[in-house]
Amino acid sequence: MKRPIPENRIVVTGLGAVTPFGPTCDALWQGLLSGQRALSELTKFDPTGLRNTKAGQIHDWQFAAADFSLERTPDEAVQFLLVAAAEAISDAGLSKQLQSGAPAHPQAGTVLATNFGGGASWEEYMSGLLDKRPSPDHFADFSFHTAISDLCHAFALGGPCSQLSMACASGTAAIGLAAEMIRDGQVEMILVGGYDELAPSPLSGLSLLRTITDDDLRPFSANRSGTLFGEGAGVLLLESLEHARKRGARCYCEVFGAWQNNNAYHLTAPDAGGAGMARVLAGALHKAGVPADQLQHINAHGTGTEYHDVAETEAIKSVLGAAAYDATVVSIKGALSHLMGAAGAVEGLVAALSIYHQKVPPTTNYSEPDPACDLDYVTEGCRDQNIQYAASISAGIGGDNSCVILGRLD
C-alpha cells in the first residue's frame, strides 16, 4: 500500500551534533555503531549529593565567540547549539548563504527545544543576586530567547522562529513543528535543534525525583534501575523538497509526519500500558499516512527506568500488533546517556542516519533479557536493515510525548 504524497514535502539535508562522543555528527554515528559508551565521571561541578557521579559529560570543550560574530561568550548550552548548527549548515551546503554578516534570509527560520536552557548561567545569576553583584550577561544567558537571538545573528536566519519546552520530548516535538511550518509555506528551510547542559540544579532535582539510577543505564534490560543524564546539542536542517532539489542538495530522508500529546496521568510515571505513548505513535503514523505494519525501525525513548521501558514496549505492541516483532527498536541512551532537551533532536538525527545508511546502531549496555520487554532491541551490535519508514519517540517528565515519522526518499 502506497501512502498519499503531500503537495509540500519536507526533507532533511543537514545534520550537526555535539555529544559526549565529540563535537561532530560523525563522532556520534561512529561511536554508536561501534558499541562504545561515552559516559564518564562528572567533573564539571561537585557531584556530592547526587545519586550517581556518572554522566554524559562533554570533555575538553573549546569555543570562540568570535567564530560566530558574537560580542560575548554565551552559556555553554548555547555554545553546543551553535557548533552543532554550524555543522548542519555546512553539511547542507549552505554556509555561504547562512552566515553572520549576510543579509537576513527571510525564508530561513529556526525552531529550538530545551529543558533548562542556560542552567549554569541561571545559577551564576542567582549566586550574584545573593552576593548583591548580579551580572547582566548571566541574566541574558539563562533566558531561553537568547539562544534564538544568538543563532539567528550567527547564521542570518531572518524567518519565523520559535522555542518550545516539553521536557525530554522537546527535541522531537521541535522537528514536528518545523516540518509543519515548511509544509504550511511559511519558510523554505528551518534549522531545528535541541540543546541542554549538565548543571547542579537540574541534576539535583532529577536525583530527588529518583529517575537517576544508583547503578548503570541499561535500556530494556531486566536489571535496569534508572537513567543517567548528559549534555549536548543536535541540529537538523529541514527544507522543502522543491527547494532542496533546485539547489541539488543531498537528502538524508523525508519527514512524513509528527504528533504530540500528554498522558494526563502523573508527573513521572507512565500510564498503564503506555497508553499515552501508544496514542502519540498512532497519531504520528496517521498524520504521516504510514500504515503501522510498514514501520520497520523505531528509535525509542528507552530511558532504562523500570516502568517506562515496559510501558514503551507495550505501546509499540499495541499500535503495531504482530508487526512489532518485525521492527527493530533501539535506544541510544545506554551509549550516550539521556541528553534531556537535546535527546529528541539527537535521536531524530540518528534515525535519519539509519535511513540514509540503511543501518541501525545497537542498544548498548543491554545485558539481561526481560520477558516484559520482548522486542528486537538489536543487542548484538549494529545491523544492516532495509528501512523505508522509521519513528523516533520521546517522552518527558510531566507526561509529554512526541513522535516523528521519517522515511526513505523515493
Q: How far apart are alpha carbons 103 and 97 in whole angstroms?
A: 9
Judge contact between 332 and 364, C-beta under 8 A.
Answer: yes
Spatial distance between the Cα atoms of 274 and 305, rounded to a whole number of angstroms:
13
The set of residues, in sequence order, having a beta carbon less than 8 Å from that of 140 and lying 6+ positions away, is 72, 146
Active-site entry in 105, 138, 297, 338: 338
Catalytic residue check, 373: no
Grid cell 519565523 in the structure block, residue: 160
Query: What's the first-to-final CA gap in the chain, in angstroms?
Result: 14
Annotated active-site residue 301? The verdict is yes
387 and 408 in contact (C-beta within 8 Å)?
yes
Q: How many CB atoms lie within 10 A of CB 200?
A: 17
Asked if 74 and 141 touch (Cβ cutoff 8 Å), the reply is yes
Contact 284, 389 (CB under 8 A): no
Q: Give the angle 257-263-264 at the CA atoms, nearest 5°.
A: 130
Provide the pairing of β-strand 328-330 with 297-299: parallel
Q: Is 145 a catalytic residue?
A: no
Phi-psi region of 378 (alpha: psi -120 to 50; beta: other; left: phi over 0): left
496514542: which residue's cell?
279
Choice among 25, 161, 168, 251 that is catalytic: 168
> Which residue among 301, 308, 373, 403 is the active-site one?
301
Residues 6+ apart with CB under 8 A from 384: 358, 359
d(CA 334, CA 349): 17
* All three cell numbers of 21: 562522543
Q: List active site positions.
A: 168, 301, 338
